[in-house]
Amino acid sequence: VNSMLDYSDEKGHLPIWALWGHETYTMIANHSVPMIADAYLKGFEGFDAERAYAAIKKSITQSMHPKSDWEMYDHYGYYPYDLVKTESVSRTMECGIDDYSAALMAEKLGKTEDRDFFMKRADYYKNVFDPETGAMRPKDSKGNWLTPFDPYQLAHADSNVGGHYTEGNALQYTWHVMQDIPGLIEWMGGKEKAGQYLDSLFYTTQQTTGTLSDVTGLIGQYAHGNEPSHHVA
């Protein structure tokens, strides 16, 4: 944690995907946030909690690098695919995990206004869930769903595939709501409907639109060989 905070002091934000001391911005959101919040909530000592929280808040509210367009995120409640040309859905989903973590830390520190702000943000995933398809679907700045839409289309910004997801597709990222599984189930229409969606992830075809070297070990559309699916099983 202290190393991350030292990094933040130098760089202006917590590490995202650093390599040899340099920030690559290869991945999305900022998952130093849940790591630090988790350490604090579990009672680990040896670091300044207020300093840590300040670094968290700055990293996920102040725009300072290409993937920190927070004003857009807060204005729309999601990343519109016509304004964010790649990874719009995945970025919306993964930022929610950081927001929820920040909210829990803020609550324990007695920062109720911040807690409410980040808890509201943690629900933004609901804005990209399309009940018609049962998937997290790209939406533009006018609130229109991407059409035509192929939930089997693999995507990754750092490949020639491009697209609206990160190392995955809509079917895999639909379950990327680790911070609020009960809320996701309710949003899907209840346990029975959510169960049908979950079963279909494993029983549908293994065929995808496009290929990515990251997406391997397919059981239906569950990709055991890559991180976006790991928590589902």
List, for residues 12-28, the tens digit of each pLDDT value.
999 999 999 889 998 99
pLDDT at residue 156 greater than cutoff 90: no
- 228, 176 contact by CB (below 8 A): yes
Per the listing, tokens 């399309």 go with 130
Q: What average pLDDT score do residues 180-207 get?
A: 97
Model pTM greater than 0.85? yes
- For residue range 31-57, what is the model confidence (pLDDT) as tens digits? 999 999 999 999 999 999 999 999 999
Instruction: Give the pLDDT band (50/70/90) at residue 161.
Output: low
pLDDT at residue 231 greater than cutoff 60: yes
pLDDT at 85: 86
Q: What average pLDDT score do residues 139-161 get?
A: 88
Instruction: Give the pLDDT band (50/70/90) at residue 158.
Output: low
pLDDT at residue 159 greater than cutoff 80: no
pLDDT at residue 95 greater than cutoff 70: yes
- The architecture in CATH of the region 2-230 reads Up-down Bundle (1.20)
pLDDT at residue 68 greater than cutoff 90: no
pLDDT at residue 112 greater than cutoff 60: yes
Radius of gyration of the chain (CA): 18
For helices 88-108 and 112-122, the axis angle rounded to 10 degrees is 150
pLDDT at 157: 74
pLDDT at 160: 55
